[in-house]
Chain A
Amino acid sequence: MPTGSLCIRSMSWFGSERGGAERWAGFVILLCLAAIAAGVLLKQFSFNPAALVATAAAPAVPGAAKIVSSPSPGETPTILPPELSAFSAPETFSADNLYDKIDGKADLYLTAGFVELRCQRFALKATNDAWMEWFVYDMGTLPPAFSVFSLQRRSEAQAFELTEFSYQTQNALFFVCGRYYVEAVTAMPTEPMMAAMRAMARQFVAANPPGAMQIPELKLFPPENLEADSQGLQVADAFGFDGFTNVFTAKYSLPDGATNADVLAFLEMTRTSATAMALRDVYRSFLLANGGKEIETGDAALLGKPINFMDSIEIVFTEDNIVAGVHAAPDAASAAKVARLLADGLRKGKNE
């Protein structure tokens, strides 16, 4: 039968000249399809997460969902100092079950581009009841690793010379090694334990050489009055604004002026200057739409009018393809000073 003939037959099944099983088979098939479509349409209005997610997709006891695997070469066995021994089996968590390990903090990692977490507990052989936990977060690339490192930086951090981004607290080490963000945490911060943790950290870096960990955006912040180790990266929803997706921040202190305030400067690189200006305008609109009020200063021509937003000052401007500004400054004078400092630095950086 020619194809055209078939088409015409099927198109004309309502026609009086067609009859028999062919017509009714077509009718039944169409009826079934329509019934399925109607069923799907109606069913979607009674979505029940309990039935669809809870019982079938995950066991009731979270621990049972863990994937336990052997550590990969270059990780724990080869970097383990002689004074430490395994205290638990290694565990691996993916984006699907990271929550099973760190609960509500998982979102911090997931939004930054988390790939995998490997963790394991180790005890000092000499004591055995003194243990620490070693976490290696694979964040895919350096910037996300730096992001989660910077967003959790402890205010009491002490220097720990390991990589460009590393510090220690009284009971823990935190560092970035290329694509990895690593934490080593103990509740018993004796000197032998801390020494063993530092040794393990050094061996990890030796086994996973990160190369030069350069993040070009960080160099755009002018060094004058910049607080040491205050730089950070927010990869989503910075300052509650969903248009900011890769915002670098740095804190400036102004001890020599009328005020003695910490001011947060920020910048985000975009593709073109037009994109930067558009993003600047959308952010300004966001602030004004949420109760912000423009205030008059002499710098308006250079940096745009500052905005009083919830009793703090926001300034946002562009320099070529960079959106930059000051967030939540305590007063207009310090905001303007840091904004000028940042604008001059960006301009100078562009000319160099």
Chain B
Amino acid sequence: MSELGQTNPLDRRDFIVRAAKAGAAIVAAGGVGLWLHDRKGPSANAFSRTVSLPDFSLASTGPKMSIVTGANRVKTVNRALAALGGIERFIKSGDRVVLKVNAAFASPPALSATSHPDLVAEVARLCLRAGARSVIVTDNPINDPQSCFALTGIARAAESAGAKIALPTPSSFKPTTLADATLIKDWPLLFEPFQGATKLIGLAPVKGHYRSGASLTMKNWYGLLGGRRNIFHQDINTIIFELTRLVRPTLVILDGTTTMLTNGPTGGSLDDLKATNTMIASTDGVAADAFGATLLGKTTASLPFIGKAAAAGLGTADFESLNPVRDHVD
């Protein structure tokens, strides 16, 4: 401490000089920080560029919907599409069609956790009959893709109908960014099957979902995301809403032949299921989901993603306003 006593006392001039130096140091540090600041934020450098899906919707068709009751999927989907003017209204000669199925789990079709193979095969067949040059069936499952497509019966059914299966590989993904999005920023998107595609049809089963309340056509687009997408479960309604903004399909088909009422999305017991015998086809996924909610005994108000999408003008939650064509087949 003796040395401290030997230093000169701080006078006014010294204080001002020292304060000025300290201020300069702070300004310099701030300047360097500002200079280093990356205003764009980090990017997913594993990829060279971002991609976006084209708008596959048809302006000429407008919002339409059909609801057909019956236990036979092949019959009900044919009738539902006929009620919208036939598959030819959506699929033209030379089209390259992508069918986005729900193959999320390596689960047999009887448990209704995935798109039913009979439905997948029939829609693929109809597309090819309408003149489609190719039909690709794809999804990025939760479980191992090969097992999922095999054990759900989707692979065999699709291939028997003349469609091709596109299993995701790491190179199938490209980053995508949705404008003004909260969650979809530089996120890996299952893109490879869409290269050259001209039409997109979503095929989703009706299921309850522990996190989102329901898994319907809008939630089905979740299967296009790669990466550790489970972090989105913390904001499930926003991610479903953003996916609905991101993906504009030609058509969606909601399979309510069997509804998973409880313990979704995996189910497990046949007791989780109820025969609701309804097939919905629509160009408006929001309307299809609003109807699908009724099969689950839910209201649209209890499924916030529907309200968000409707409020953003992505469709209507008032499906009756579309004057859906209703029919029944035995």
Contact = CB atoms under 8 A, between A and B. Distances in A.
Nearest to B189: A60
Interface of A: 4-5, 8, 12, 14-17, 27, 30-31, 34-35, 37-39, 41-43, 46-64, 66, 88, 99-108, 152, 154-157, 169-172, 174, 183, 185, 187-189
Interface in B176-195: 183, 185-188, 190
B172 A60 contact: yes
B147 A88 contact: yes
A50 B175 contact: yes
Given A54-B187, A104-B212, A156-B271, A61 B37 contact: no
Contacts of B277: none
Nearest to A171: B270
Contact of B227 (A35, A38, A58, A157): A58
A63 B149 CA distance: 12
12 contacts: A8-B4, A48-B43, A48-B186, A54-B229, A57-B228, A59-B226, A64-B144, A66-B144, A101-B142, A104-B209, A104-B264, A155-B262
A49 B183 contact: yes
Interface residues of B, number: 81
Given A30-B25, A38-B32, A38-B36, 14 more contacts: A17-B7, A34-B26, A48-B185, A52-B42, A61-B168, A61-B226, A64-B170, A99-B142, A102-B142, A104-B264, A105-B266, A108-B210, A169-B269, A170-B270
A53 B30 contact: no
Given A106-B230, A107-B211, A15 B7 contact: yes
B228 A54 contact: yes
Contacts of B89: none
B39 to A, nearest CB: 8
Contact of A8 (B7, B21, B145, B211): B7
B1 interface: yes
B111 A14 contact: no
A34 B26 CA distance: 8
Contacts of A63: 141, 143-148
B21 A53 contact: no
B34 interface: yes
B110 interface: yes
A98 B173 CA distance: 22
Interface of B: 1, 3-4, 7-8, 14, 17-18, 21-22, 25-26, 28-30, 32-34, 36-47, 104-105, 107-111, 140-148, 168-170, 172-173, 175, 183, 185-188, 190, 209-212, 215, 226-231, 233, 236, 262-266, 268-272
A12 B4 CA distance: 10
A35 B36 contact: yes
Given A41-B33, A63-B147, A16 B272 contact: no
A187 B173 CA distance: 33
A169 B262 CA distance: 14
A20 B142 CA distance: 64
Given A4-B3, A183-B268, A38 B170 contact: no
Contact of B41 (A46, A107, A183): A46
A170 B32 CA distance: 68
B141 A60 contact: no
8 shortest interchain CB distances as A-B pairs = A38-B33, A54-B227, A34-B29, A63-B144, A60-B226, A187-B108, A46-B41, A50-B186
A189 B4 CA distance: 89
A156 B143 CA distance: 28
A59 B266 contact: no
Contact of A31 (B32, B144, B173, B209): B32
A27 B18 CA distance: 13
Nearest to A102: B266
Contact of B233 (A51, A64, A104, A171): A104
